[in-house]
Structure 1
């Protein structure tokens, strides 16, 4: 059984669907699903993956990555320059603290900033970070 077929079977079973149910809900024939799961068919085309992803309620991009059509987001980040990895780490921290909705993460808000505007934001951020560090019970950690 190929890796994608095994993953597809696990996803289907996790959602408590039979092959026939997945076929009916997705519009992909049960024979095709069975052949994929058993490794008797290669990686499905993106259109088939889209139908399966929608039915399995999994992001299309994730299933495309599992199939090997595209790189996963995690792979992209690992291969990205260090500056992008840092930005992603900041975003992950914001998500963990429920702050991903802040305008800070809206790229459209940054479009018209001048270099001076960005320097002002940076200084203000440094000030706020220093104040937060003072309030932090673990003030020994560094930024």
Structure 2
């Protein structure tokens, strides 16, 4: 099981040798928001915020969603693995080779994302 969101973000940020301010800049959110997340005072930021942090840290979106408590590991196994930001730039929505099952997974994931608005 993944750590809490606070330790997950802090560990990934430190591993990337980024300051709080640098991560905030890359994620295009305030450094105080990052600090609150890492301190544990901001328990469940929106999926939209988590997506920007995941992209800035170049980590899978599913992992940060699990750490935040939006998904459990069993549920994430049913969803397609999300690519990191650098991977998605090179293969944006290449669905031609997906199986029927994979396309259904993508549809379910899109429905989930929309429900988080």
Aligned partner of 1:107 in structure 2 is 99
Q: Distance in 1 between matches of 2:76 and 2:52?
A: 27
| Structure 2 residue 53 is matched with structure 1 residue 61 | no
The higher-RCO structure (CA 8 Å, 6+ apart) is 2
Equivalent residues in 2 for 1:124-135 (5 A)?
A: none
TM-score using structure 2 length: 0.60
TM-score using structure 1 length: 0.50
The structure with more helix, counted as a fraction of residues: 1
Bigger Rg, structure 1 or 2: 1
Deviations 1:16-53 (A, max 9, x none): 00000001111111001001101122211100000000
Deviations 1:82-141 (A, max 9, x none): xxxxxxxxxxxxxxxxxxxxxxxx635xxxxxxxxxxxxxxxxxxxxxxxxxxxxxxxxx
Flag structure 1 segments of 5+ consecutive residues without an equivalent.
Answer: 81-105, 109-143
Equivalent residues in 2 for 1:1-143 (5 A)?
A: 3-72=4-73, 75-76=74-75, 107-108=99-100
CA RMSD of aligned residues (A): 2.4
Flag structure 2 segments of 5+ consecutive residues without an equivalent.
Answer: 79-97, 101-117
